[in-house]
Amino acid sequence: MRSASVASAFLLTGGLLWGSAAFAQGAVTDSDSGPTTLPKKPVMFDLSSIDKTADPCTDFYQYACGNWRKNNPIPPTEVRWGSFNTLAEENNYLLWKDLKAAADDPKTPLQKKYGDFYAACMNTDLADKLGAKPIQPELDRIAAFEDKKKIALLDLELEQKTGGGTLIGVRVGQDQKDSSQQILETGQQGALTLPDRDYYLSTDDRMVKIREQYVAHMTKMFVLLGDTQDDAAKEAAAVMKIETALAEGSMARVDMRDPAKVYHIMTIDQAEALTPDFDWHTYLDGLGLSQAKTLNVSSPGYLKAVNQELETEPLPALKSYMRWHRLHSAAPYLSQAFVQENFDFFNKTLSGQKEIQPRWKRCTRLTDQALGEAVGQDWVKQNFPPEAKENMEKLVAALKVALDQDIQQLPWMSPATKKEAELKLAAFRQKIGYPEHWRDYSKLEVSRNNFVLDLEHAQIFERDRNLKKLGKPVDETEWGMTPPTVNAYYNPPQNDINFPAGILQPPFYDVTKDPAVNFGGIGVVIGHEMTHGFDDEGSKFGPTGNVKYNADGSLGSWFTAEDQKKFDERTSCVADEYGSFEVAPGQKQNGKLTLGENTADNGGIRIAFQALQATLAKQGVTDLDGQQDVKDGYTPAQRFFISFGQVWCENRTEQYSRIAAKTDPHSAGQWRTDGTVQNFDEFGKAFGCKVGQPMMPEKSCRVW
């Protein structure tokens, strides 16, 4: 998750983490109303997953995960299935139990609220009866619109109804130059429907075919709304033309990782000069933001593209675009015909998902997204005991010491830059488990008889909560993830590491396992998030969270000039290395897009190993490769690396792998494993590899 466009996540959030252990384990079957049997508990350091026919020095991923991958095919309701999906499945099941109980017999006003939200989502009979009626008021408003010069007013009316802008949207985020303050921002928000700008612009045969299928999908959806086939085809063509133009003006994902490229402070008048056909003053006044004098325009090129379309496209085409985006955003929650057609293109065709997830899983996820800190309050009481938080505090402390030692021992960094790095590390804050202060949902309206309306209310609630932050000090206790989430993240502007309660369980952590196994799991996760503070993006933020800019407006750095040059050389090594890895036939990873996550993986495993060494030394174990502490046939060092590798056991559809290569800043599981260990000599020592073997190359990359 990227909080305020800059927070760097350990894992990709969203549908990627939610899966059904049922199909992978052959033990659970699901109905639309709920699971019929319990999911199996996740396993940490699973000997049965190991493929001992593989050579760990040639392909460690196959060695650590070969049998797991063979025995755990992708469930028909998923596009990616990994070992930690079993944990997400367990958490999802426990969350569902709370939601079902609250829907049937709420004990508190808060339970009634999230119980009603879940119940409304589950009411498919009503959804089928209503068809597209829940969005008809917005469609009617679009149909009645007659003046292109007042497009800002239409966008405003739709946002006031749904909680989100269409062509242009605004939000409040932290100021890069003063991270204690919050400013208005605008950029690319929902303008494109396909996963990435390349899907509109690439001449690759696959992309051309996807565009044809996308137009056919839009045509079918417009027909479901009541259009004739000819009118639907015209509307779909108009939407495709506009979205392609907006894609041309949009920033590439790699560029959006650079703080300097997404920081352009403008006055409201300057923004209006950039988009003279969009009335910014009317729009902001309608949102209650008349006090705003400036805003950060993350992508000026996108705003220029918007204005070009407003100037040149005929009114009917613009109305088709607005109509499409309202329909698309609501499609998964309308009647079954809309749900199925939406699934057929976006899940089945684009990602290779064979079957739609059971309704109860989709509704559980949606309720967590909308009322996560309401549901989370009850969830942590039952599933996150105080000792779990205490254990995490100890692990984080051990990793901080290891990172401090790592910084001091870096052979390429000067004392001056090391001093700055030490200041940043000392300023690290950590949030573990759940928020100090729970969010107040008292003003959120929820009913049991109109789920689309409930979603709109939730989006409006979140939008209003965000916009009220304008001009106010940053609340550093706020969270960007819900408590049950199997994830973690680092937030550069706040310089903090965040670990939701949901992740402190197998396959990441198990109190019954020895330190080598736990440091290979959760220890690497902690180290990963800490290293994000010093990757190619995080290193541009100082100890206070501010980004340094030179007098000419270019990005500064707390590195000395010589150290910056060395840092750039080392990160280029990582980018080139990972950019050579193939994730699908003919499809390489984007080494620059994944650079931050790869740097964090490589740094995280190194400092976790150092922390393990320090921990075992206190227990009298000084040789992690020695035979005196062999368990299950493996030394402590070997158990550490196997535990790390098994976190990333996974299978992916080819279609999903191609989407991820374009959009995901995280590498595929195979390369999060092999790419990381081949850059760490301690791995080669642990498994007796020889220099020149794939997992112990003659030349490797190291940043931290």
Q: How many CB atoms lie within 10 A of CB 520?
A: 29
| Report for 38-47, 195-204, 555-564: range of highest mean pLDDT | 195-204
Write down the pLDDT at residue 164. Answer: 83
Task: Please calculate the CA angle 520-526-528 and round it to the nearest 5 degrees.
Answer: 90
Mean pLDDT of 94-113: 96
The distance between the two most distant Cα atoms of the chain, rounded to a whole number of Å, is 81
User: CA 476 to CA 688: how far, in whole Å?
Assistant: 46
- φ/ψ of 680, rounded to 5, equals -130, 110
Please determine, for residue 9, whether its predicted confidence score (pLDDT) is greater than 50: no
Mean pLDDT over residues 509-533, rounded?
96
Confidence (pLDDT) at 29 = 46
Where are the extended beta strands (E) located within 298-380? none
Amino acid at 113: K
pLDDT above 90 (res 24): no
* The two structure tokens encoding residue 513: 């396992």
Which position has the token pair 């999802």?
92
pLDDT tens-digit series, residues 489-503: 999 999 999 999 999
* Residue 261 to residue 139: CA distance in whole angstroms: 36
According to the model, what pLDDT value does residue 698 have? Answer: 95
Residue 281 · residue 272 · CB < 8 Å: yes
The answer to whether the beta carbons of residues 283 and 152 sit under 8 Å apart is: yes
How high is the pLDDT of residue 495?
94
pLDDT at 347: 97
- Range from 72-86, 290-304, 539-553, 556-570 carrying the lowest mean pLDDT: 539-553
CATH of the domain spanning 132-333: 1.10.1380.10
The answer to whether residue 25 scores a pLDDT higher than 60 is: no
Question: Whole-model pTM?
Answer: 0.93
Q: Residue 31: which pLDDT band, with cuts at 50, 70 and 90?
A: low
Whether the pLDDT of residue 309 is over 70: the answer is yes
Query: What's the pLDDT band for 6 if we cut at 50, 70, 90?
Result: very low
Q: How far apart are CA 466 and CA 469, in angstroms?
A: 6
**pLDDT tens digit string along 119-172?**
999 999 999 999 999 999 999 999 999 999 999 999 999 998 898 889 999 999
What CA–CA distance (Å, rounded) separates 327 from 330?
A: 5
- CATH of span 3-94+362-687: 3.40.390.10
Give the mean pLDDT of 423-451: 95
Residues in contact with 45: Cβ distance below 8 Å, sequence separation at least 6, in sequence order: 507, 510, 513, 517, 632, 639, 642, 643, 646
**Alpha carbon distance 379, 391 (integer Å):** 19
Two structure tokens written together for 398: 């051990």
Rounded Cα distance, 325 and 20, in Å: 30
- pLDDT of 601 > 60? The answer is yes
Q: Is residue 135 a contact partner of residue 334, using CB atoms and an 8 Å limit?
A: yes
Assign 189 a pLDDT band (cuts: 50, 70, 90): low
Q: What is the pLDDT of residue 596?
A: 97
DSSP 508-558: T--TTS-HHHHIIIIIHHHHHHHHHTTSTTGGGB-TTSPBPB-TTS-B--S
Given this model, what pLDDT does residue 468 score? 96
Average pLDDT value for the chain:
92
pLDDT in tens, 33-61: 888 777 777 889 999 999 999 999 999 99
The yes-or-no verdict on residue 3 having pLDDT over 50 is no
Domain ranges for the chain, please list them: 3-94+362-687, 132-333
Q: Summarize pLDDT for 604-624 with one digit per residue, the tens.
A: 999 999 999 999 999 999 999
The span from the CA of 369 to the CA of 408, in Å, is 41
What is the distance between the alpha carbons of residues 587 and 656, in angstroms, rounded to a whole number? 12
> What pLDDT does residue 345 have?
98
What does the buried/exposed string (b/e) look like for 365-402 if buried means 16 or more CB atoms within 10 Å of the residue's CB?
bbbbebbbbbbbbbbbeebbeeebbebbeebbebbbeb
Mean of pLDDT values over 240-245: 98
Which tens digits make up the pLDDT trace of 441-481? 999 999 999 999 999 999 999 999 999 999 999 999 999 99
pLDDT digits (tens, 9 = 90+) for 631-671: 999 999 999 999 999 999 999 999 999 999 999 999 999 99
